[in-house]
Amino acid sequence: MRKSILLLAAIALSVSCKKSGQENQLQAADWLIGTWENQDPQGKMIEIWSKANDSIYIGESYYIKAKDTLHSEQIQLVQNGELVQYIPTVKGQNNDQPVNFNLTSKTDKELVFENPKHDFPQKIVYKKITADSLVATISGTQQGKASSESYPMRKK
């Protein structure tokens, strides 16, 4: 009986350690949480990130010119097992269906998501510059040519 209890305790500890390791994958993105802005002469880009729970972060991105929203997307950053995905849904694109980008690389200051089968972008990178600034870059091939767009943002 005692051996059974010890075995169950060891299994529970093993499972909880694996769960903690999985949580750490998504926790690498904690620095994204908050409201980020980029103001340029054409308008303002706002990106808002919040933590829904240990396995889902929610993002919203808007590009506003005067009082008109020219572009908006809903984003989920989801951990399912060992897989972390960046999943944007853009109204008017991809038949309003989400597109999955897998986390392919992460450091304390950079998250890289890729989907080589997507039309554009194929790569999304968030790079932390300081505690209150980051650069989001989308890149890939567009109309047969390499293309890249960067969006420096400040935390509000």
Instruction: Answer for the pair 111, 101: CB distance below 8 angstroms, yes or no.
Output: no
pTM (two decimals): 0.84
How many CB atoms sit inside 10 A of residue 26's CB?
20
- Note the pLDDT of residue 17: 40
Task: Give the per-residue pLDDT at 18.
Answer: 43
CATH fold of the domain at 2-155: Lipocalin (2.40.128)
What is the pLDDT, as a whole number, of residue 151? 96
CB atoms within 10 A of CB 141: 13
Question: Beta strand pairing status for 110-114 and 34-40?
Answer: unpaired
Residues of the chain whose pLDDT is less than 70? 1-24
Ranges of each domain in the chain: 2-155
Residue-level pLDDT at 19:
46
| Consecutive H or E run containing 75 | strand 68-80
pLDDT given for residue 51 in this prediction: 97
Q: What is the pLDDT of residues 16-35, one digit of tens each?
A: 444 444 446 899 999 999 99
